[in-house]
Amino acid sequence: MYVVLSAVLWALQERITFPAPKAALPDPVQALGYGERIELRMQDGTKLVGWYLPPLRRPSPPSAALLWFYGNGETIGAIWPIIRDFRPPHAALLVVDYPGYGASEGRATEAGMYEAADLAYNALVARPEIDRQRIYVYGRSLGSAAATHAASTHEVAGLILESPFTSARGMAARHYRIFPRFLVRLSLDNVGAMRRIHCPTLIFHGTADMLVPIKMGREVAAAAAGPVELVMIDGAGHNDTYDMGGSAYKAKLAAFVK
């Protein structure tokens, strides 16, 4: 039985990590009253969809911008009220459904998520109204791996992480500790990426997070090659950080995205 379970874990770990919920992409104009639907194409032709939202408080162009990467069980269709409420008002925002997620085509994989992050970054840089020196990256939970990938491979002004884990092997050691680590084929190495990131980093983490313990947030912060601030949200678990952090969370995020 142990051998069978080990084989199943080895074979299905990508599906476990990337559950890829499907959901229609809302029209941003109908949902928010502004914004536009975007389409991106992966190298193999897979179509990705997302939102581009202009700044709410329109500064003189070019403006700052925020790339938003969500968690493993989320889609734009599920979290758009959070984007609406917590986005920095003076910055543009771009969010894309990962391959296989939401209304995007394709299959959910680690490599596909990274390619989606690269495409999203390039889409922002290509917009003339965006200041490429003020592109910030935000990643929550699984999205922290997309965010650290973007920040370690592209020029960004700042990195924001919420509930980041150390790596796929670190998560496996916590939740599947009876199985050997060599079974883990995924990387999702936030700690390794942080060693190559020199921009300012802001990390939010709930003190009561049982899925990704705050110890991991501290380890990610300690690995940063640049200045880092860890903001602990007292009493917050893994999925109620926005509720528990409230206006203080929102204000901290807006102040970081200059």
Helices then strands, each counted (H, E), the chain: 9, 8
Answer positive or negative: Cα dihedral of 17, 166, 125, 75. Answer: positive
**CA 189 vs CA 11, 61, 142, 193, 216: distances in Å:** 20, 36, 11, 6, 12
Alpha-carbon span 91 to 185, nearest angstrom: 37
Tell me what pLDDT residue 31 has.
97
pTM exceeding 0.85: yes
Bridge-based pairing state of the strands 92-96 and 47-53: antiparallel
Mean pLDDT of 81-107: 97
133 three-class SS: strand
Task: Name the least confident of 68-72, 113-117, 168-172.
Answer: 168-172
Tell me what pLDDT residue 199 has.
98
In which band, very low, low, confident or very high, does the pLDDT at 11 lie, cut at 50, 70 and 90? low
Mean pLDDT of 184-209: 94
Alpha-carbon span 91 to 136, nearest angstrom: 9
Tell me what pLDDT residue 117 has.
98
Alpha-carbon span 80 to 207, nearest angstrom: 25
